[in-house]
Amino acid sequence: MTWNVAPEIVSLGLLLVILQNAAMSKWRVSLREKFFIFSLFYTIFAIIINLLSMMPFPQVTPFGSVYDWIFNTAYFIFYPPLYLIFNLYIALYIAERAPKESAPKIKRTAVILFLSIALYEIVPIINFKTHWLFYFDAQGNYIRGVINHLPLGLAIVGILVGFSLVISQRHYIDSYFFKVIIWLPIITIMIIVLQTIFTQVILTGTTMVLALIAIYLNFQTSKISIDNLTQFPNRDTFVATLAQLINTKQKTTIMVVSLDNFKVVNDTFGQAMGDRFLKAVATTLAEIVPQGEVFRYSGDEFAIITTKGRELSMVGDVINRFKSHWSVNSVTSRLGASFAILQLPFKDASTVDATTLLEFAIQRAKDQGSGQAVYCDALILEDIKRRTLLADHLLQSQGESLSLHFQPIYSLESGEVFFVEALLRMESEKFGRIPPSEFIPLAEELGIIGDLSRWVLEKICQLLSSRPHLPTISINLSGLQFNDPSMTLFIKETLQHYHVDPSKINIELTESTFFTTFFDDALTFMDELIEWGIKFHLDDFGTGYSSLVRMITLPFSCIKIDSSLLRYARTEEERGDFIKSILSIVKQLGFCPVVEGIESEEELQFLKEIGCPYGQGYLLQRPIAQDQFLDKFLT
């Protein structure tokens, strides 16, 4: 009999290409990934056996040669398990995502498939006596046996069993995976039907290869799962893995490592060196946790997953590593980091997204200072729930919960009011008083900080319009407003609408603004409004971002020195020298200095003695509501 083996040869070539690419890829080392590699090797082996079985022995002998019998029997032994292998891959995929309650059904399916293959394997083993599958006639010609198509029938049964498992567990399967897998049984059955019609064209290997190509291109290719820079699994892979661990309720520890102020490394050493540091961090984390998995979570963040029972030592080892310097290509730098730790199973995992939990915890750690670690516990969960409710309230409140408080800045020499700072406050029946440190960052994240700033400006302009003799009022703007082209226009139009002199408005910007904003945008924003008569003040000077170069470059009229500098020195003499030096520099640069946070008579007397012109603080005047402010300053 003459065979058309072209489809098998093409299939073999495609498999070799996939295997080569797979060998160059760096996948997560899971049972499913290992099994996929095994399936590639097994399919190549089976196709080679098939090709050898169709190559006749050079010398035709009666009733077939030993060569013919060995390779044809090997074909019937090794080819049918291909469908078992494919179904087992699907079962492993489902097992990674389905809850433990689904395990019995998955195991039953696997047992049924194994038993069907085990029973079938008896048939080719005894075929040399029964001739049920094939035999050779007296002239040495290949003759199909009465159940020659049994492997094809077995394949159809296996496909239907696997198909039923996919349907029953579809709620735990990624919708894209489901769509791809659902088509494969239909295509496979079509190929099997064609095989029975065109008996001389060998298509059995083609079926498996199509399935493997579909899986490889859609779910196994490293381009989908691997970060290009570090060659470690990327965020999408981490999120998928995390979902699997939550569904299976496997005991796991997850740690997110977020580098602090990594932008400074890039600015200091350049982007290329910054990339080398990121690769070094990823590699080092993998060395610290050799039995865990490391992921590139985001630009300067990494995630670690371990299920090996060494959670405490892992957390301690990772944190301790960031207490030391890092050296890459003879360049040494200190890399600070903040940490979030989540332990699974988490009893409230169904009520909150795990990645949201981790990101909230990492932000909490950063707020506490570099090197801090925060565990995702019930308190964090309560904070997230509150934050979600507060976000809804902010989006729907339309200003009903907002109010303005006012705190004066005084001349320390005369006691007169220099100007007044307007402070936004929020209070509701549901939440009570909400601190600005909570609702302002949330408004920035929600993209409504501009609406709050517009509300404040309009209220201040209404107040100054009706009471023009009030002192100049300062308002605080977020750095995000620099990227809003409509903000400068809104400020001008609002002042014009209420006939407010621009000199009656100061705008205060914090130092951190210039680390979250393009410097040129900030300068353009300030110059345009300064030409119009509005003054700018730098708030919280000395909180860690200060740069004399930026002070000189940016057109501020006033520098508000943070209260932390007032308490910086260990002795009275050191404190005096330190504050005097700061005041002297600020004055020499042409800025008007204001010291914030004056809380005691001792601090007030000290500032008067060293010649500080202006001050603000609870000792002088606490922030007061608008009615109290008007009573105080209009009487």
Phi-psi region of 293 (alpha: psi -120 to 50; beta: other; left: phi over 0): beta
DSSP β-ladder status, 402-411 and 624-625? antiparallel
What are the C-alpha distances in Å from 272 to residues 112, 268, 281, 282, 337?
55, 11, 14, 16, 20
C-alpha 23/C-alpha 3 separation (Å) is 33
Q: How far, in Å, CA of 500 to CA of 457, rounded?
A: 11
Q: What is the pLDDT of residue 464?
A: 94
Q: What is the pLDDT of residues 123-143, one digit of tens each?
A: 999 998 999 999 888 877 888
Identify the residue whose tokens are 């509300």: 455
Max mean pLDDT among 344-348, 429-433, 626-630 falls in 626-630
Domain topology for 399-634: TIM Barrel (3.20.20)
Domain ranges of the chain: 6-223, 226-376, 399-634
Peptide bond into 345 cis (omega under 30): yes
Q: How many CB atoms sit inside 10 A of residue 135's CB?
A: 18
Instruction: Please give the Cα distance from 142 to 69 (Å, whole number).
Output: 10
The closest of 291, 276, 292 to 238, measured between CA atoms, is: 292
Share of the chain above pLDDT 70, in %: 83
- CA 248 to chain centroid, in Å, comes to 21
As a whole number of angstroms, the distance between CA 635 and CA 462 comes to 20
Query: Of 430, 407, 344, which Cα lies nearest the Cα of 560?
Result: 407
Confidence of residue 463 (pLDDT cuts 50, 70, 90): very high
Are 223 and 231 spatial neighbours (Cβ–Cβ below 8 Å)?
Answer: no
Say whether 413 sits in a helix, a strand or coil. Answer: coil
Task: Give yes or no for residue 60 having a pLDDT over 60.
Answer: no
Residue closest to 165 by CA, chosen among 224, 122, 102: 102
pLDDT at site 466: 92
Question: CA neighbours within 13 Å on the CB side: how many for 584?
Answer: 7
CA distances for 449 relative to 463, 515, 517, angstroms: 21, 18, 15
| pLDDT given at position 2 | 60
Average confidence (pLDDT) over 163-192: 75
Q: Which amino acid is at 292?
A: G
pLDDT over 80 (residue 329): yes
For residues 213 and 262, the answer to whether their CB atoms sit within 8 Å is no
CA 425 to chain CA centroid, nearest Å: 32
Residue of 5 and 466 predicted with greater confidence: 466
- Report d(CA 16, CA 536) in Å as an integer: 67
Pair of tokens at residue 356 = 């949201």
- 593 bridge partner residues: 559
Of 45, 43, 52, residue with least CA distance to 73 = 52
pLDDT at 25 over 80: no
Q: How confident is the model at residue 159 (pLDDT cuts 50, 70, 90)?
A: confident
Task: Give pLDDT, residue 203.
Answer: 61
CB contact set of 516 (below 8 Å; sequence gap of 6+): 479, 480
Which among 234, 235, 187 has a CA at the least distance from the CA of 208?
187
**Look-up: residue for tokens 């494919």?**
86
Q: Does residue 3 or residue 177 have the better pLDDT?
A: 177
Between 48 and 552, the higher pLDDT residue: 48
Residue with tokens 């030409």: 531
What average pLDDT does the segment 91-112 reach?
85
**Cα dihedral across residues 524, 529, 533, 538: positive or negative:** negative
| pLDDT at residue number 224 | 52
**Across 39-46, average pLDDT:** 85
Encode pLDDT of 66-79 as tens digits.
888 888 899 899 98
- State both tokens at 134: 């094939």
Indicate the DSSP class of residue 498.
T
Q: Under CATH, which number does the domain 226-376 receive?
A: 3.30.70.270
Q: Who has greater pLDDT, 62 or 422?
A: 422
Q: How many CB atoms lie within 10 A of CB 69?
A: 18
Q: Return the pLDDT at 310.
A: 63
* Top-confidence residue, 449 or 310: 449
Main-chain phi, psi angles of 342, to 5 degrees: -125, 130
Average pLDDT over residues 334-351: 80
What's the confidence (pLDDT) of residue 276?
Answer: 92
How far apart, in whole angstroms, are the C-alpha atoms of residue 590 and residue 556?
Answer: 9
Residue 420 clears pLDDT 90, i.e. is over it: yes
Is the pLDDT higher at 213 or at 354?
354
Q: Are 561 and 540 in contact (CB under 8 A)?
A: no
Supply 19's token pair. Answer: 């295997």
| Arithmetic mean of pLDDT, 418-445 | 89
Residue type, 490: F
In the predicted model, what is the mean pLDDT of the chain?
82
Q: Does the pLDDT of residue 245 top 90, yes or no? A: no
pLDDT bin (cut points 50, 70, 90) of residue 511 is low
Residue 571: what pLDDT?
Answer: 59
Out of 309-323, 345-359, 423-437, 512-526, the most confident range is 423-437
* Average pLDDT for 571-592: 81
Query: Are 324 and 336 within 8 A, CB to CB?
Result: no
Alpha-carbon span 582 to 78, nearest angstrom? 83
Contact partners, residue 235, CB within 8 Å, separation at least 6:
295, 296, 297, 298
Domains 226-376 and 399-634 share a fold: no
DSSP 501-564: -GGGEEEEEEGGGGGSS-HHHHHHHHHHHHHTT-EEEEEEETSS---HHHHHHS--SEEEE-HH
> Which amino acid type is present at position 296?
R
Which of 67, 41, 43 is closest to 55 using CA atoms?
A: 67
Compute, in degrees rounded to 10, the torsion defined by CA atoms 146, 149, 155, 158: -20
Q: How confident is the model at residue 489 (pLDDT cuts 50, 70, 90)?
A: very high
The string over 356-383, giving b where at least 16 C-beta atoms fall within 10 Å of a residue's C-beta and e elsewhere, is ebbbbbbbbbbeeeeebbbebeeebbee
What does the pLDDT read at residue 501? 95
pTM greater than the 0.75 cutoff: no
Would you say domain 6-223 falls under CATH 1.20.1740?
no
Q: Are 61 and 29 in contact, with CB atoms under 8 Å apart? A: no
| Nearest Cα residue to 484 out of 515, 514, 454 | 454
